[in-house]
Amino acid sequence: MHRQWRFLLALSILGCFAVTSCGGTSSQECKILSINVSPAAATADHTAAPPGNMQHFDAFIGKVPPGCSFITGNIFDATWTVSDSTNVSISNAQDSTRGNATCKNATAGAITVTATKTESDGSKVSNTALLTCN
């Protein structure tokens, strides 16, 4: 009887380890792994009156871990930057103008527009598009 009790105890302990994965966590972290920017390339006329001198960019969820889902594909809290802030500005306002790039002068070719999403853990994902102002 003593032997049977030890066997059942050992079996119970092994079962606990199997269920708890040896103390590890079984839940995966659901966060955005990549984003996309649309349009990928655009041109605007810096001499045109608004909105002709502007281009709106959107950031979308590109990839998430399997089993994770998000309410929307559009990323409304992306931070926008441009590689040539002398000739192009971009809005980070908390309204419908967020992602609007405005050509102030002609650019010497395409400039880079970058959207960056900061996750709750501080990690960041970014992607880029091109804008030419002529």
Give pLDDT tens digits along the chain (134 positions). Answer: 555 545 444 444 444 444 334 444 445 688 999 999 999 999 999 999 999 999 999 999 999 889 888 777 789 999 999 999 999 999 999 999 999 999 999 999 999 999 999 998 999 999 999 999 99
Residue-level pLDDT at 29: 81
Q: Tell me if 34 is assigned to some domain.
A: no
**Which domain does 57 fall in, by range?**
45-134
Q: Domain containing 112 — which CATH number?
A: 2.60.40
Calpha distance 117→115 (Å, rounded): 7
Residue-level pLDDT at 27: 56
Residue-level pLDDT at 101: 98
Q: Tell me if 110 is assigned to some domain.
A: yes
Calpha distance 94→23 (Å, rounded): 43
What is the pTM assigned to this prediction?
A: 0.76
DSSP β-bridge partners for residue 129: 113
Number of domains in the chain: 1
H or E element, residue 11: helix 2-20
